[in-house]
Every structure is written in structure tokens, then in C-alpha cells.
Amino acid sequence: MGGSFQGFDIVFLAIAAGFILYRLATVLGRRTGHEREHTNPYAEAPKPVAPRKGDDKVETPAPRTTPARSSEAAIDAVAAKGSPLARALTELQIADRHFNADEFLAGARAAYEMIVTAFAQGDRNSLKPLLSGDVYRDFERAITERESRGEHVEMTFVGLRGAQISEVQLNGSQAEVDVRFVSESITCTKNSDGAVIEGDPTSIHETRDLWTFARDVKSSDPNWALIATHTS
């Protein structure tokens, strides 16, 4: 498990260490007052409202159509019973009673797409709250250099084919979780004349990445930090 920043691919991804909310913000960038509402994948299902005396009607929120699995069931879904990964996840769950593999993976998947898309678009406002100061400066410098050359990236994020927890370590109160991603996108870089200088604007490209998230499980801050990435 690595703790150092690895280089990023300026053509497709510039995935690096940075702060990413475990309970992610529901929109990218600044709010203007005209944004479409996004569902928070980590929001708990609303609790039914008990009727009060004198009320004719009480609106009761509909239950989730796909409720999150229990922590134990979520572990069984991602790791074989009795395996080192299952034991490590159980240890993490004991140390952090709020940890749920389903919710964690949902946040990791959303974070992946948010960062990849924002970097490709040169969207500094969206990147800044998702990355640590040092990593944001690396991203911002890469975007500035790209702009100074008159280049821009065109990317369509096709989707994630998979996201899987591959390793967990708990050192004292410091937890580290590795997640392997397989994603698809259509990506190319164009120069100031609009000519493609790298990538292919017509074909889908597959990328495999390994991201390491870390968190102090004794902290009241629920956020996980992306501390290392590797692209294979």
C-alpha cells in the first residue's frame, strides 16, 4: 500500500492524492441557485414521521428501493468468508462502527468520476474542494500548462465497469483501504487548431487504477483522504 503521490496521465486521467468526502457533496463546483438536485448516495433513508394528534394526514417518505446491505452482508459481498480481506474489513468495522463497504464503494465510485471529469474540463472550482492543497497545486499547474499550449482535453466518461476493495490495513487508528477501478472513457487532447494530438475521439479506452484511501477512525471527521494512486 503506497503513501506517496504517483504521476498522472495528462491525456486521460490526472488522478492523485487528495481529500475526497466519504459522504460526498451532491454537486460539483459552486452553487448558483439553478442546479439540479442530486441524490446523496450516503444519505440515510428518511425516518417515517409519527402522526400527531389533530393531523388529518401525515406524509410518510417512501422507503429506499435498494436499501444498503448491513455491514456484515456488505463484507460478505466483497470478500470470501474467512479470507484475510474479510478479517481486515471486520477489524475496520469494529474500529469504525460507521464503516459500511457498500457506502464506502458508492462514495469512491462517485469520487472517481468527479475528479476525472473535473480535471479533463479544467474545472478548478470543482477540483479544489476535493483535493489536498499540494495535490490541487499539481492539478492546477498541469491545467495551466495545458492551457498555455492552447491544448484542451475532450472526454466523455462512459462509466465504471467495476470498483472493488482489494486490501485493507489498520495501523493503530489509521485505516487504509485500496480500491481497484476499471473505467471506460472516450478521450483525446487537441491543440489550438483543433487537431487531435493524442488519444482517439472515436474509440472507448479502458483504464485500470488503484486508489488508496485513508482515515483516522478515531476522528469525528467522516472524510476519507485519497493518499495514493496507481495506473496500470
Give me the CATH number covering residue 178.
3.10.450.240
Where is average pLDDT lowest: 11-15, 101-105, 170-174?
A: 11-15
46 located within any domain = no
Q: State the residue range of the domain holding 76.
A: 18-24+68-231
197 located within any domain = yes
Which pLDDT does position 52 carry in this prediction?
47
pLDDT tens figures, 162-177: 999 999 999 999 999 9
Which pTM does this prediction carry?
0.67
10 located within any domain = no
**CA atoms within 13 Å, Cβ hemisphere of 12:** 21
More confident residue, 165 or 71: 165
138 located within any domain = yes
33 located within any domain = no
- Measured CA to CA, the distance from residue 83 to residue 91 in angstroms comes to 12
- Measured CA to CA, the distance from residue 155 to residue 111 in angstroms comes to 17
Q: Which three cell numbers stand for residue 153?
A: 482535453
Query: Has residue 24 got a pLDDT over 80?
Result: no
Q: Which three cell numbers stand for residue 195?
A: 487537431
- Measured CA to CA, the distance from residue 90 to residue 94 in angstroms comes to 6
Of all residues in the chain, the percent with pLDDT exceeding 70 is 70
With contact defined as beta carbons under 8 Å apart, do 138 and 13 qualify? no
The mean pLDDT of 217-227, rounded to a whole number, is 86
Three-state SS for 3-72 is CCCCCCCCCCCCCCCEEECCCCCCCCCCCCCCCCCCCCCCCCCCCCCCCCCCCCCCCCCCCCCCCCCCHH
31 located within any domain = no
CA distance to 45, 46, 47, 55, 64, per residue, from 51 (Å): 18, 15, 12, 7, 21
pLDDT tens figures, 170-204: 999 999 999 999 999 999 999 999 999 999 999 99
CA distance to 64, 87, 151, per residue, from 14 (Å): 35, 33, 15
221 located within any domain = yes
Q: Which helix (H) or strand (E) holds 91?
A: helix 84-95
How many Å separate Cα 113 from the centre of its chain?
Answer: 7
13 located within any domain = no
**How many folded domains does the chain comprise?**
1
